[in-house]
A and B are shown apart, each in its own frame.
Chain A
Amino acid sequence: MSTLTAELAPKPSKPWAAAPLDRAKTAGIFFAAAAISYLVVLSTPMKGKLAYIAVFFIAYIVIDFVSTFIKLGRPGAVDAVFRAVVTMAVAIAVTPIVSILITVWLRGHKGLHIGLFTTDMRSTAYTDPISQGGLLHAIIGTFLLVFFAMIISVPIGILTAIYLTEIRGKFTRPISFLVQAMSGVPSIVAGLFIYAAILLPFTKKLNGIEGSLALAILMIPTVARMSEEVLRLIPGDLREAGVALGGTQWRSVAMVVVPAARSGLITAVILGIARVAGETAPLLLLTGGSGSKNFNMFKDSMGSLPNYIWQCFATGTPESITRAWAGILVLLVIVVVLFVAARTLGSRKVGKK
């Protein structure tokens, strides 16, 4: 009986999926357009990468339009052209990322050597050969700056998120609005603010903690908004269960909601760190760029990766530019690792451990 139905039942098929013929046709148009663009660039005075891409794109659209027009008429042809346009848009959007990653690797790896992570720039000028000196002071500085910024901003950010999701008092709408507004504060303004509020009236000197405060201002909105999103995903059942077991709101938030959202909250913090790790402008105003290791946040200027990159770039000799790219490579690796960590943690289902 069962074999009979199996024979009679139609085979599962996807009539909407691209048939081999369609794929062959797309590939054909693609290669035809590529060939046309090659020939046009070869035979006319238009030159350069831009010409190849532009001619290819126009040729692709024209061929695609005509061939679809013959088969499906005008609506189908317009649809095909639009598809080509948005595909092109996404290709353009991704091109800079690929270009940036390749550039950073190609230019940065020349400056990599083991001494980069074991020495600092205390007795080395930016113009010295790349094999001398290193990034240790900058890595330590960035780590300390970001760490202190984290200590300041994470409690504030998560408290804001808890207010927005758990308390929902009369300030919910204004605070939600202000947090969003705060995420648009330009980094230079955050730097100017700390300069005006702390450096001018009190310390009068560059030091690390001022940089951390400015970074914290930039980090709070990211942490708050991401945490809010995560806390919203926690099912109301969990809160109700906490209260039904006799917990006060404080206990149900602290022992049920926050632990359930733990991995999401860590993601929020990591994204916040990634946001500020490469922030340059406020550090230029507030922390200065010392070449030697400085572990004291409250005294003397403190080097950091962005500052190192900036100084090397501003010096402008081939050696210092290579240094800048090596610094960028290290910074980028840190940012990418943080980002991947956040993604991996965040993709786990919220509410499960």
Chain B
Amino acid sequence: MSQILEQSTAPLPEKRQLTTVPRLSDRIFRGIVTGGGLSSLLILGLILGFLLYNGYSTLRQQGLNFLTGSDWQAVVTDSGAFDVNNSHFGLAAMLIGTMIVAIIAVIVGVPISVGASVYLTFYAPNAIKKIMVSAIDLMAAFPSVLFGLWGFFVLEPSGEYWAKLLHKYLGFIPIFQLPAPYVTRSPFIAGLVLAVMIIPIVTSVSREIFSQTPLDRIQAAYALGATRFAMLRAVAFPYARSGIVGGVMLGLGRAMGETVAVYTVLNIVYQVNWHILFSAGGNVASMILLKFGEASPNEVKALMAAGLVLFILTLIVNSIANLIVTRTGKSGR
């Protein structure tokens, strides 16, 4: 009692300042974290800047021909100098090749992935589901050089046989025709390897979307006597459709930027080749790797410009994909 009295005689503490301004430590913390957060912007900006800086001279010399032309020749004059006027850098052949290979990958990979994700979400018993999901996620972590070697040594022999079958029975369709009877290391096989490589990402995105299907709608469908297929058709597919499109775009972006696996399984020839079973093709990324080794400084600049085009292309595809996926994900929650 006496203590309390003693204390009360002590001078009152000053009134506390109430403020919403964060303390110095917090401001420093926020500054650092914001800086770290903005680094992704910085890195993407730097990539764009440096590739543009190095590739600019090529882009200016070649103009639109860089995207539409399809020969790639770094000509050197007799004195060993770089011949600007006779050198041609046109990326069209490899751009077409990139699209062909990536589209084959999507056509083959997406039905498998979507089917697998439907099975894993709506059909699989829990034990099987756990194992399968782990296995498919593990596949996403496999290095691309492994897919390349597997494609070269294991898939290639089977793929050749399938290519011959396709040519034999569907050869009347122009893209399955062969200008010469060579089917090894064709865009078809590269597409199959890429299909295997995009299966994990497309499966996991679609599985995510399918698992967000509102439970009440599923139960309502069952209560009306729907079979599982009828429920999927009436509820799950309409709900997940745009999200799956997003997942497919993500897979497409992944397939377009793949380097090592394509380099391993594809016979890279710099020409426009629409015959997917024929042993010639390429994509931008693998072409860069191929030409980089013995490129002169001027050709390196052209390759930088090619890298820039690839970068912008994948950025666009990925951005569209992410927009779609994020929007679908939000609306479902």
Contacts and interface: CB of A to CB of B under 8 A. Distances in A.
Contact of A248 (B25, B53, B232, B285): B25
B227 A79 contact: yes
B99 interface: no
B292 interface: yes
A93 B195 CA distance: 10
A86 B115 contact: yes
A181 B229 contact: no
Interface stretch (A2-10, A35-43, A109-117, A161-169): A161-169
B194 to A, nearest CB: 12
Interface centre among A100, A164, A187, A306 (most CB of B within 10 A): A100
Nearest to B30: A167
Listed from nearest, the 9 A-B pairs whose CB atoms lie closest are A278-B143, A159-B36, A89-B115, A186-B257, A163-B37, A184-B318, A250-B29, A79-B227, A86-B119
B149 A325 contact: yes
Contact of B158 (A50, A75, A92, A94): A50
Interface stretch (A21-29, A280-288, A292-300): A280-288
28 contacts: A49-B158, A86-B115, A88-B115, A94-B132, A96-B199, A97-B139, A100-B142, A162-B33, A171-B38, A180-B318, A182-B40, A184-B318, A185-B314, A188-B307, A189-B51, A192-B288, A197-B46, A249-B29, A249-B30, A278-B145, A280-B144, A281-B144, A310-B145, A313-B264, A324-B149, A328-B145, A328-B146, A335-B142
Q: Which of A193, A221, A224 has the most CB of B within 10 A?
A: A193
B116 to A, nearest CB: 4
Nearest to B146: A328
B141 A335 contact: yes
A179 B36 CA distance: 12
Interface of B: 22-23, 25-26, 28-30, 32-41, 43-44, 46-47, 50-51, 53-54, 111-116, 118-120, 123-124, 132, 134-139, 141-147, 149-150, 152-154, 158, 161-162, 165, 196, 199, 203, 227-230, 232, 250, 253-254, 256-260, 264, 285, 288-289, 292, 303-304, 307, 310-311, 314-315, 317-319, 321-323, 326
B139 A181 contact: no
Nearest to A331: B143
A189 B253 CA distance: 13
A220 B135 contact: no
Interface stretch (A57-65, A120-128, A269-277): A269-277
Nearest to A271: B141
B154 A99 contact: yes
B311 A186 contact: yes
B26 A249 contact: yes
A178 interface: yes
A309 interface: yes
A284 B289 contact: yes
Nearest to A107: B153
A159 B143 contact: no
Given A171-B38, A184-B317, A285-B292, 5 more contacts: A167-B33, A178-B44, A184-B254, A196-B51, A250-B29
A189 B40 contact: no
A34 to B, nearest CB: 20
Contacts, number: 274
Contact of B260 (A280, A331, A336): A280
A346 to B, nearest CB: 11
B141 A186 contact: no
Nearest to A96: B196
Interface string A67-98: 00000000110110011011111101110110
Given A86-B116, A171-B34, A280-B143, A185 B29 contact: no
A160 interface: yes
A159 B32 contact: yes
Contact of A180 (B36, B227, B322): B322
Given A187-B259, A188-B285, A196-B50, A75 B115 contact: no
Contact of B44 (A75, A92, A158, A181): A181
Give the interface centre of A79, A174, A221 by most chain B CB atoms within 10 Å.
A79
A155 B36 CA distance: 8
A90 B123 CA distance: 11
Contact of B26 (A104, A175, A248): A248
Given A86-B119, A188-B257, A193 B47 contact: yes
A197 B150 CA distance: 34
B227 to A, nearest CB: 4
Given A75-B230, A83-B123, A335-B143, A224 B40 contact: yes
Given A49-B158, A156-B36, A186-B314, A332 B142 contact: yes
B288 A188 contact: yes
A107 B114 CA distance: 32
Contact of A184 (B46, B143, B250): B250
A38 B115 CA distance: 26
A206 interface: no
A281 B141 contact: no
B315 A250 contact: no
A335 B258 CA distance: 19
Contact of A92 (B112, B228, B229): B112
Contacts of A104: 146, 150
Contact of A189 (B26, B119, B257): B257
Contacts of B162: 50
Contacts of A93: 112-113, 115-116, 136, 199, 203
